Amino acid sequence: MMQFKTILKNPAQWMLSSGPYGEIVISSRVRLARNLRDISFPGWAVEEDRIEVLNRVKPAVENLNEMSGAFSSDLSNLKAVNKQILVERHLISREQAAKAAGSAAIMNRKQTLCVMVNEEDHLRMQSIKAGLSLSDAYKMIDEVDTKLESTLDYAFDNQYGYLTACPTNLGTGMRASAMLHLPGLVLAEQINKVINAVNKIGLAVRGLYGEGTEALGNLFQISNQHTLGEQENEIIARLEKVIRQIIKHEENAREKLYIEKRTVLDDKIGRSYAILRYGHIISTKEALDLLSMLRAGVDLGYFSDDIRALIDVLFMEIQPAHLQFFADRKLGAEERDCLRAEIMCDRLKSLPEPSKFSSNKSNEQSSQED
């Protein structure tokens, strides 16, 4: 069994590798909701029923090949800060972090697969992959689901499909989402137009941590809203098509900025670099915005490609719970802001100044202009 510390020492596999369209799509996630047939849903179940669910589901999940050497814990055994770390890594939801008896999380070593027990539904399983890889992520979680259905008796209805606590998840019980980094559309002030258009066609746009959260660091999650009335692969194909269009728009917005507002861009990236290198007090929000500009700088050729993974890891490590774990004690807000600045300064100390003219990308783009 993996220790909690091991999780922390190693970033998730998807953060270190670059997937398709990795410049714009950070990760793809697919989540399935499932319930057992003969026990109340977690929100309504009494404690002994919740524990009964845990006793049935947990061994079934732990016995999967995919979960060999996994980290598995009842959430009541985890300290609040550790739960928060799992939230910051998108491994469990904010809702589950608050839940009581009978809740558990089981995740594989690579942190690409996580099963939550007794969240809103008895089982919430999800897979995470780097880049735009929704089909691969679905395939991975579908296999896990198929194995589990042979030992667990799922609640299923011919008309409504997989039965879930909330009717908004009926049918496939599937929520597929991609995390997009869209600094170009934000700077060009086109982002609201894109969000409105996406909402109109039955897809949802959310901030970094899901429903009701702010879009920090120019990061946006796009996901399907409907789960019933379409096959899984249709939902994914539609979502992926829309994401490809957004990627196109983001690329165009970046190119336009690069050509028409080059000085503004140079300035934003230069300032972000300077503050990250020499700042001493940096809040989470500011840090995410600065890192976002740094990442955009990598994409546009101001910095070398190989620091993209470092930036993605920093996106996670500078968040409050990760900082407290790093410091090994509870930190006040001011202490966190100082430590955050210190960590970023240290990690980025060998990063050369942004180069304005040397990269291939800039040559390519200016020649297009000619």
Partner 1 sequence: MNCDVCQENDATVYLTQIVKGKMQKVNLCEECAKQKGVTDPTGFALADALLGIGSDEKMDVSADSLECESCGFSHAEFKKTGRFGCSECYTVFGFGLESLVKAMHKGTLHLGKVPSRYQVTKKYNDQITELKDRLRIAIEDENFEEAARLRDEIKLAEADYITSNESEIE
Binding footprint of partner 1 on the chain (CB under 8 A) = 35, 37-41, 43-44, 120, 142, 145-146, 149-150, 153-163, 165-168, 170-172, 174, 202, 226-232
Q: What's the min distance (Å) between Cβ of 162 and partner 1?
A: 8
Whose CA is closest to 33, among 133, 136, 102, 118?
118
Minimum CB distance to partner 1 smaller for 37 or for 262: 37
Minimum CB distance to partner 1 smaller for 39 or for 331: 39
Q: What's the min distance (Å) between Cβ of 71 and partner 1?
A: 27
Query: Do the beta carbons of residue 174 and residue 233 sit within 8 Å?
Result: no
Other Cβ atoms closer than 10 A to 151: 13
Q: What's the min distance (Å) between Cβ of 33 and partner 1?
A: 12
Minimum CB distance to partner 1 smaller for 43 or for 320: 43
Minimum CB distance to partner 1 smaller for 45 or for 75: 45
Q: What's the min distance (Å) between Cβ of 105 and partner 1?
A: 21
Query: Do the beta carbons of residue 17 and residue 130 sit within 8 Å?
Result: yes
Q: What's the min distance (Å) between Cβ of 174 and partner 1?
A: 7
Q: What's the min distance (Å) between Cβ of 288 and partner 1?
A: 32
Minimum CB distance to partner 1 smaller for 5 or for 37: 37
Q: Three-state SS across the chain?
A: CCCHHHHHHCCCHHHHCCCCCCCCEEEEEEEEEECECCCCCCCCCCHHHHHHHHHHHHHHHHCCHHHCCCEEEEHHHCCHHHHHHHHHCCCCCHHHHHCCCCCEEEECCCCCEEEEECCCCCEEEEEEEECCCHHHHHHHHHHHHHHHHCCCCECEECCCEECCCCHHHCECCEEEEEEEECHHHHHCCCHHHHHHHHHHCCEEEEECCECCCCCHHHEEEEEECCCCCCCHHHHHHHHHHHHHHHHHHHHHHHHHHHHHCHHHHHHHHHHHHHHHHHCCCCCHHHHHHHHHHHHHHHHCCCCCHHHHHHHHHHHHHCCHHHHHHHHCCCCCHHHHHHHHHHHHHHHCCCCCCCCCCCCHHHHHHHHHHC
Q: What's the min distance (Å) between Cβ of 142 and partner 1?
A: 7
Minimum CB distance to partner 1 smaller for 157 or for 353: 157
Q: What's the min distance (Å) between Cβ of 45 and partner 1?
A: 8
Q: Which amino acid is present at 342?
A: E
Minimum CB distance to partner 1 smaller for 43 or for 270: 43
Minimum CB distance to partner 1 smaller for 25 or for 163: 163
Minimum CB distance to partner 1 smaller for 36 or for 257: 36
Q: What's the min distance (Å) between Cβ of 158 and partner 1?
A: 4
Cα separation, 238 vs 233, in Å, equals 9
